Structure 1
Amino acid sequence: MQLYNKLSAKERATLIEEAGEDRLTLSFYAYAKIGNPKLFRNYLFIAWDAMEVLGRIYIAHEGINAQLSVPAKKFDEFKNFLDSIYFLENIRLNIAIEHDLKSFLKLKVKVRDKIVADGLEDESFDVTNKGVHVDADKFNELLNDPNTILVDMRNHYESEIGHFKGAITPDVDTFRDSLSIIEEDLKEHKEDKNLVMYCTGGIRCEKASAYYKHKGFKKVFQLEGGIIEYARQVENLSLENKFVGKNFVFDHRRGERITDEVISNCHQCGKACDTHVNCANEACHLLFIQCEECSKTMDTCCSNTCKEINALPFEEQKALRKGIPNSNKIFKKGRSEVLKYKH
């Protein structure tokens, strides 16, 4: 019984190119009580591997969080499989606006303590006691209400390239950081204001809405389906688009363009740019914004030091990385003193 990937990402990319078949990038989540996450993980891996599904999926006692790439011709089979699971029947699927055959190159189904890390140890906190879900039309209506406070539940590197007009965008690295900050900043408005939240696909907002209800906020709303579904509804229903810029996504694309506005800058030269890259030096791998010109000049590296290391033979790079604790900066997400134009 195969419960692991037999192909490397490079081998999988080659097969996808040779097949030349359409794939759909999508995501979904569900908060539910899963008694045996490991058993459920194995069940999903076996079924989805047979369907050639690729992606990153987290399973926990509190539910499932999935970001996937599915062969278009097998979408109906995939959907029927989801419908056969009681808490996933008719689940809303956030289908990407822009599709990329290589958005994911491996199938990773992992068991985690939580599907969204929140740092909370409060046993009385019920994640299923969520706020009111609103569609794009109602969301726009709420934003026109002067009694509304709009909060972006994403991290600084996400909101930097795109956000809703007038939103509070906390300068945080993780979701867990934002919960207490927002609660403290808005504690005077638990009774009188509409607390409206949004995120990429809805999963963080759903947990946040339940958390703020638990903390005494009376009027809690979340954008159903997040930015992904909002953009779809705005286009299909010809609604006013209150989002500006790009929507950060957690796959190889790193972003979906929602509007033509570029609201961020290259972190190295300051030129208008909203393209995220990872530093080519594998010992760094820092996520940052880099324009095409700087990418060519710096060989897709964040600093001259990384550029020099990246130019070394592979074995020398590997030797330099050996035994260095916490050498990978992937979780710093744009926080580096070498990035002069990071705001």
Structure 2
Amino acid sequence: MQLYNKLSAKERAELIEKAGKDRMTISFYKYANIGNPEILRNHLFINWDNIDVLGRIYVSYEGINAQLSVPAENFNAFKEHIDTISFLENVRLNVAIEHNNMSFLKLKVKVRDKIVADGLEDTSFDVTEKGVHVGAEKFNELLDDENTILVDMRNHYESEIGHFQGAITPDVDTFRESLPIIEDDLSAHKEDKNLVMYCTGGIRCEKASAYFKHKGFKKVFQLEGGIINYARQVEAQELENKFIGKNFVFDHRKGERISDDVIANCHQCGNSCDEHVNCANEACHLLFIQCKSCAEKMDDCCSDQCKEVHNLPVEMQKELRKGKEVSNKIFKKGRSEVLKYKK
């Protein structure tokens, strides 16, 4: 029984291009008590591999977190399958604003301790005791309330290219770092202020809202379905769009535009730009913002050193990487000292 990918990302990309069929990029999550995540993992892989689902899915004892793409012609089959799983029946599916057939090139279903790395060891609070979910219209109303504190639950490299007007954007690299910082900074307003949170698709706010309620915050709200769902509701209901810039996404697209505003800068020259790329040097792979001019000048690399390595023969590059620990720069998300105009 095949429970792994047989094709490389390159081979899969070639097949997708040859097929010439549209794919849909979708994300969803659900907190639930899962007795045996391994069984669910195998069940999902077998069924989704059969209908050409690709993506990154995490399963744990506390639920599921999925980001994936599916051929448009197989969407109904995909929806019918997840509806057969009791805790996923009619789960909200966040459909991407901007589709890209290459958003995912492999199917990865992994068992994890948690579906979001939150760093919390506190087992005394109930994740189902979450804040009030609000749609785009109510969310906009809350933003206009002077008693509202709006907090971006994402990381610095996400909010750098786009965020809601007036939001607090913690300068953090990970979700787990933001929780204690926000609690400390806003501790004086547990009783009197509306604590309103948002993230990409809602999953981080789900955990954060329960955590902050547990910590004594009385008026906790979260944006239902995150930025993805907000953008769709704003368009459908003809509401004011209070999000400026792009929404960072964790697939090959790296972002989808929500407004025409470009609020970030190229990390190499400082010119207006909000295009995230990964350094072309496979030994680096640093995530940073790079304009087209710098990409051409630097051969898609983050530094002169990486450019030199990238221009070596492939076999020589492999020899240089052999025996060395895999670089962790990809997780530094634009913090590298080689970037002159990093945030």
Using structure 2 for the length normalisation, give the TM-score.
0.99
What is the distance in 2 between the residues matched to 1:327 and 1:234? 40
CA–CA separation in structure 2 for the residues paired with 1:124 and 1:25: 36
User: Which residue of structure 2 lines up, in the alignment, with residue 55 of structure 1?
Assistant: 55
The unaligned stretches of length 5 or more in structure 1 are none
Secondary structure at the residue paired with 1:129?
coil
2:331 counterpart letter in structure 1: F
3-state DSSP of counterpart to 1:98 = coil
Q: Deviations over 1:232-266 (max 9, x none)?
A: 00000000000000000000000000011100000
- 1:127 corresponds to 2:138: no
Residue 315 (structure 1) shift: 1.6
Give the AA of the match of 1:89: E
**Residues in 2 aligned to 1:324 and 1:70: alpha-carbon distance in whole angstroms:** 36
- How do 1:320-339 residues align onto structure 2 when only pairs under 5 Å count? 320-339=320-339
Question: Which amino acid counterpart does residue 250 of structure 1 have in structure 2?
Answer: F
Counterpart residue identity of residue 269, structure 2: C
Aligned-residue offset at 1:18: 0.9
The whole-number CA distance in structure 2 between the counterparts of 1:315 and 1:167 is: 47
User: Percent identity over the alignment?
Assistant: 78
Deviations along 1:199-256, one digit per CA (max 9) or x if unpaired, are 0000000100000001110000000000000000000000000000000000000000
SS where residue 281 of structure 2 aligns?
A: coil
In the aligned structure 1, how far is the partner of 2:247 from the partner of 2:123? Answer: 33
Quick check: 2:243–2:258 contact (8 Å CA) kept in 1?
yes
Q: Does 1:175 align with 2:175?
A: yes
After superposition, residues 143-162 of structure 1 pair within 5 angstroms as 143-162=143-162
1:197 aligns with 2:197: yes
1:298 aligns with 2:284: no
Instruction: Measure, in 1, the Cα distance between the counterparts of 2:309 and 2:101.
Output: 31
> Which amino acid in structure 2 is aligned with residue 252 of structure 1?
H
In structure 2, the partner of 1:275 is 275
Query: Aligned partners of 1:89, 1:120: CA distance in 2, in Å?
Result: 28
Alignment of 1:241 with 2:236, yes or no, is no
Q: Map residues 1-343 of structure 1 onto 2, 5 A cutoff.
A: 1-343=1-343
Contiguous gaps of at least 5 residues in structure 2: none
Determine the C-alpha separation between the residues in 2 that align with 1:317 and 1:164: 42
Q: Distance in 2 between matches of 1:19 and 1:279?
A: 29
SS of 2:28's partner is strand
Q: Which segments of structure 1 move beyond 4 Å, counting only runs of 4 or more?
A: none
- Name the CA distance, whole Å, in 2 between partners of 1:24 and 1:325: 36
Cα deviation code 1:171-226 (max 9, x no counterpart): 00000000000000000000000000000000000100000001110000000000
Q: Is the 8 Å Cα contact of residues 321 and 327 (structure 1) preserved in structure 2?
A: no
Cα deviation digits, residues 94-134 of structure 1 (max 9, x gap): 00011111100100000001000011111112111111000
Tell me, in whole angstroms, the C-alpha distance in 2 between the residues paired with 1:29 and 1:125: 20
Q: What one-letter code is carried by the residue in structure 1 that aligns with 2:174?
A: T
What displacement does 1:323 show?
2.4
Q: CA RMSD in A?
A: 0.7
In structure 2, the residue corresponding to 1:114 is in which secondary structure?
coil
Deviations 1:266-295 (A, max 9, x none): 000000000000000111100000000000
The TM-score, its normalising length taken from structure 1, stands at 0.99
Greater CA deviation, 130-139 or 310-319?
310-319
Secondary structure at the aligned position of 1:65 is classed as strand
**Mapped contact 2:197–2:223 kept (Cα < 8 A):** yes
